[in-house]
Each structure stands twice: as C-alpha cells, then as structure tokens.
Amino acid sequence: MNKFFEFYYSSVGKKQIVAATGLFLILFVIAHLAGNLFIYGGPSVFNGYAEKLAHLRPGLYLLEFGLLLIFLIHLFVTAQLVWENWQARPQRYATYKPSEERSLSAKLMSYTGTLIFAFVVWHILDFTFADHVGPRSILSDGLSYGLYGIVINSFSNPTHSALYILAMIAVGMHLSHGIQSFFQTFGVNHPRYTIAIRKTSNFLGTLIAIGYSTIPIYVLINNFRG
C-alpha cells in the first residue's frame, strides 16, 4: 500500500495514471464511433444496434460504471497535475521557457479537455437520457423512429450540429496529443519512433474527428436536398 501511495503522489505516477486511463477512453471513443456509423444503414439498422446494446443490461451497467470511473480518475488526476504545474510555475519559468515546437494540440490540451467534459455532460443528457419514443423521435412523416429519429431531429438544427462538430474537433485534437503523450510517458521516446508516432496520432485524431462529424453533416445535407 505504501508503494502505491509513493507511486500515486509522484509526478511520474500521476502521468502514467492519466496516460493509462486516457488509453481506455480512446478505445471507447473508437468503439463508440463504430457504433454511431450504423446510422448510415437507416433506422432499422441503427435502432437494431441500440436495442442489442440495451439487451446487454444489466451487465452493461457494470461496463458503464467502469467507464465512468475511468473518466473521473482521468479527470481528477489530470486536474491534480495541472494544479501542481501551476504551483511550480514561478520556479519553473525562472529557468525554463516553453518550447515553440509544441504542437497546437499540446498547447490547447486544458481547453479541449474542458470542452470535452462539457460535451460529455451535454451529450448524455441530449441522447442517452432522452425519451426514445417522445416528440423528438418523430420525423416529418409523423412516425416515431426511436433513437434514430432523435439523432436526425437533433442534427437537423444547424446550431446543434455546429456545436457537435466543434466538440469533435476538440476530441480529435485532444486524442492526437494524448496518444503521443501515452508513448512518451511510458518511455517510448526514441528519434526513430517519435516522428512515426506523431504522424500516426495526428492521423487517428483527425480520422476520429472527421468520422464523428460526418454524421451531422450528412443529416444537414439531406435536409438541404429535401
């Protein structure tokens, strides 16, 4: 137990916790994107996917609780690191100047992280806890299309779609730097691999942001054509 507390209270220990929990969250984001893309199959395919997930309960509650716990640990330990860095700032700046080579994603990590936290709360209230057979699920033909209808109606609002896309850009940037930080934190920081890791992480971050953003764009384009 003492070794655990020594590990936790060290800066390296906290960074490794943030990196490890971040990796789990990245895997969830990728899996969640794969599920969201079922919307291109139409209401029966997308709602069928949602119903299969619902049938996994109550076991799914354990997975959701574990994911929430990982998210909160990631958030809490990150906040501790930010606080510790802020406290050490006067001494650090006396001998150190931030590198101009830091990427934009790295410079904006605290901002994108805050935006993502706000988005997660909004997203859960907006979709997860929404009434799947209520007025928001009804499309122009007067029929209820369940969760599919809620998604279509939500993204038919340009403001709603714009906020979602903004959040997805933040997710992509955050993950891009997060993947790089994971390897660096665990010692994979060799010139032979650093460039490849940076390019791969940037590609994945961009791909994830685009993948999620295609959904509201698809809805808006279809509404415009209609």
CATH (domain of 178): 1.20.1300
- Exposed, middle or buried: residue 128 (CB in 10 Å: 0-12, 13-18, 19+)? exposed
Complete DSSP assignment for 179-196: HHHHHHHTT---HHHHHH
Q: How far is CA 126 from the centre of its chain?
A: 16
| Tens digit of each residue's pLDDT (9 = 90 or more) over 150-164 | 999 999 999 999 999
Which stretches of the chain are DSSP H helices? Answer: 2-9, 11-36, 43-54, 59-87, 89-95, 104-107, 109-123, 146-155, 158-185, 191-225
Pairwise pLDDT comparison (12 vs 210), residue with the higher score:
210
Identify the burial level of 16 via C-beta atoms within 10 angstroms of its C-beta, where 0-12 means exposed, 13-18 middle and 19 or more buried. Answer: middle
Q: Report the distance separating Cα 174 and Cα 176, nearest Å.
A: 5
Q: What is the pLDDT of residues 114-135, one digit of tens each?
A: 999 999 999 999 998 889 899 9
Q: What range does the domain containing 23 cover? A: 2-225
**Contacts of 193 by beta carbon, 8 Å cutoff, 6+ apart:** 183
Angle, to 10 degrees, between the axis of helix 146-155 and the axis of helix 191-225? 90
pLDDT confidence band for 96 (50 / 70 / 90): very low
Bridge partners of 138?
144
- For residue 205, how far is the Cα from the chain centroid? 10
| Mean pLDDT rounded to a whole number for the chain | 88
As a whole-number percent, the residues of the chain with pLDDT over 90 amount to 59
Q: How many domains does the chain have?
A: 1
Confidence check: pLDDT of 12 > 60? yes
Closest alpha carbon to 12 in 194, 186, 175, 193:
186
d(CA 76, CA 69): 10
